[in-house]
Amino acid sequence: MPNIPYKIYLDESEIPSSWYNVRADMKTKPAPLIHPATLKPMTFEDMRPIFCDELIKQELDNDTAYIKIPDEILNFYKMYRPSPLTHAVFLEELLDTPAHIFYKFEGNNTSGSHKLNSAIAQAYYAKKQGLKGVTTETGAGQWGTALAMSCSFFKLDCKVFMVKVSYEQKPFRREVMRTYGASVTPSPSMETKTGRAINEAHPGTTGSLGCAISEAVEVAASTEGYRYVLGSVLNQVLLHQSIIGLETQAACRKYNIKPDIIIGCAGGGSNLGGLISPFMGEKLRGEADYKFIAVEPASCPSFTRGKFAYDFCDTGKVCPMAKMYTLGHDFIPSANHAGGLRYHGMSSILSELYHEGLMEARSVEQTSVFEAAEMFARVEGILPAPESSHAIRVAIDEALKCKETGEEKTIIFGLTGTGYFDMTAYEKYNNHEMTDYIPTDEDLAKGFAGIPNVNL
């Protein structure tokens, strides 16, 4: 592919000025969030105690295709966007494949991932509403870092509940958040009813994401001038993340790149949804066809082995219920190193698209993921996050298929971030101590048993 630079950087003026809302082009809209008590769709008023007004509007808007990005957010985007679309020439050489491989790299910012795209938007709307601060939970810490950076920029208070085991094992992430002025509390804490109850019931517990969510929501709902924000799963998050796909689309058009396959890792779906949205829009409108592949860990296979049903978004059952591919809100995935992909559920938008067969999914084991990560790092220079490496694995697999068939396919994958805070996992891999774990059908049955029986 001559005349394409290794790294395509769009001009600043080419940053999209609107987000794209794929729901507008979906014939069957994603199922609405429902209230766990009434089982009725959550209304604007239902959500106001928890979420910012403008974000609720975005959450509920299934019709507006393009939503203008406010200038203040665009200005912030310009600090780290457009992100490069990189031609993986050295990986192609190594694989000796006729395939053309590109990756959209979202890791060139201090949060280390794409999470910043939505964090800055959510912080902005909170500030605009005159709020004092926001609360959230974080597991691996990328979302918490992105939110801390965003709140620091808009001078907003930021309270992060960090799963206790991560708080202790990932002190570096914690310190990045603190450097940006966020307060970071190990969860379960003694600051909330939920936290105290859990600490009492399970002394010495190291916490869970579900518990941290409950604590963050409790504090937001009970503190004047605070709201809760979430880094994935929600429609609004996929909307903000569409900036990834829009830039990718613009770069493809500029250099006449015609992707055949678009691949992304999927935890809650924010990166994958953002990357594929504009391309999925083309597919939904019948303008083009693409093969989309969601990649998830074999240890947490929401798409490939989950059920399409209404379920709670959190273990603590304080959040609304969403219709999605789920392993059950009680499902506890094994200690996979891709913390960002250890979520029992999945974005309702992506779930609907997958359900309709518009998208494929594949699950991969972590040792093969780290093998791909190492291969990629050594030739392409970037040390990838374990989450992102799931997409690398499948991109390599697809490129190797092309080698067998001789097909000159164009593959684009999302490289969501860097692995600089994941070196404990790499150490395990380097020392040949990493293992795989695939849940048995019995393991899954336990999770499925907790899925409420809701049929609307």
Q: Judged by CB under 8 A, does residue 9 bind a second copy?
A: yes
Among residues 58, 97, 109, 277, the one that binds a second copy under rule CB under 8 A: 109
Say which residue the tokens 């994401």 belong to.
Answer: 209
Q: Judged by CB under 8 A, does residue 379 bind a second copy?
A: yes
- Least separation in angstroms between CB 436 and a second copy: 19
Q: Are 267 and 343 in contact (CB under 8 A)?
A: yes
**Which of 40-48, 59-67, 149-157, 336-344 is the region at the interface with a second copy (rule: CB under 8 A)?**
149-157
Q: Judged by CB under 8 A, does residue 17 bind a second copy?
A: no
Q: Judged by CB under 8 A, does residue 90 bind a second copy?
A: yes
Total length of the chain: 456
Q: Judged by CB under 8 A, does residue 176 bind a second copy?
A: yes
**Residue 152 CB contacts under 8 Å (≥ 6 apart), including other chains:** 158, 180, 181, 182
Q: Judged by CB under 8 A, does residue 78 bind a second copy?
A: yes
CA–CA distance, 6 with 434 (Å, rounded to integer): 33
Q: Judged by CB under 8 A, does residue 382 bind a second copy?
A: yes
Q: Are 241 and 122 in contact (CB under 8 A)?
A: no
Q: What does 333-372 look like in DSSP terms, one character per residue?
A: ----S-GGG--S---HHHHHHHHTTSSEEEEE-HHHHHHH
Number of residues binding to a second copy, judged by CB under 8 A: 44
- Least separation in angstroms between CB 199 and a second copy: 25
Other CB atoms within 10 Å distance of the CB of residue 288: 11
Distance in Å from the first CA to the final CA of the chain = 51
Among residues 65, 165, 377, 444, the one that binds a second copy under rule CB under 8 A: 377
Q: Are 122 and 147 in contact (CB under 8 A)?
A: yes
Q: Judged by CB under 8 A, does residue 102 bind a second copy?
A: no
Identity of the residue, 87 or 283, whose beta carbon is nearer to a second copy in the bound complex: 87
**Which of 37-45, 277-285, 380-388, 409-417 is the region at the interface with a second copy (rule: CB under 8 A)?**
380-388
Integer-rounded Cα Rg, in Å, for the chain is: 21
CA–CA distance, 203 with 196 (Å, rounded to integer): 10
- Least separation in angstroms between CB 75 and a second copy: 8
Q: Which helix (H) or strand (E) holds 7?
A: strand 7-8
Q: Judged by CB under 8 A, does residue 80 bind a second copy?
A: yes
Q: Judged by CB under 8 A, does residue 175 bind a second copy?
A: yes
- Least separation in angstroms between CB 2 and a second copy: 13
- Least separation in angstroms between CB 253 and a second copy: 18
Among residues 181, 183, 307, 334, the one that binds a second copy under rule CB under 8 A: 181
Backbone angles phi, psi at 430, to 5 degrees: -60, -35
Among residues 108, 129, 169, 405, the one that binds a second copy under rule CB under 8 A: 108
**Residue 322 CB contacts under 8 Å (≥ 6 apart), including other chains:** 31, 33, 34, 233, 310, 311, 313, 345, 348
- The HSE-up count of residue 52 (CA atoms within 13 Å, CB side) is 23
Q: Are 263 and 362 in contact (CB under 8 A)?
A: no
Amino acid at 79: M
Q: Which helix (H) or strand (E) holds 427?
A: helix 423-430
Q: Judged by CB under 8 A, does residue 2 bind a second copy?
A: no
Q: Judged by CB under 8 A, does residue 5 bind a second copy?
A: yes
Identity of the residue, 279 or 421, whose beta carbon is nearer to a second copy in the bound complex: 421
**Which of 201-209, 299-307, 376-384, 438-446 is the region at the interface with a second copy (rule: CB under 8 A)?**
376-384
Q: Which helix (H) or strand (E) holds 228?
A: strand 226-228
- Least separation in angstroms between CB 106 and a second copy: 12
Q: Judged by CB under 8 A, does residue 153 bind a second copy?
A: yes
Among residues 1, 40, 48, 79, the one that binds a second copy under rule CB under 8 A: 79
Among residues 17, 43, 110, 129, the one that binds a second copy under rule CB under 8 A: 110
Identity of the residue, 175 or 200, whose beta carbon is nearer to a second copy in the bound complex: 175
Please give the residue ranges that form the binding site for a second copy (CB under 8 A). 5-7, 9, 11-12, 76, 78-80, 86, 90, 108-110, 112, 149, 152-153, 171-172, 175-176, 178-181, 374, 377-383, 418, 420-421, 423-424, 426-427, 429-430
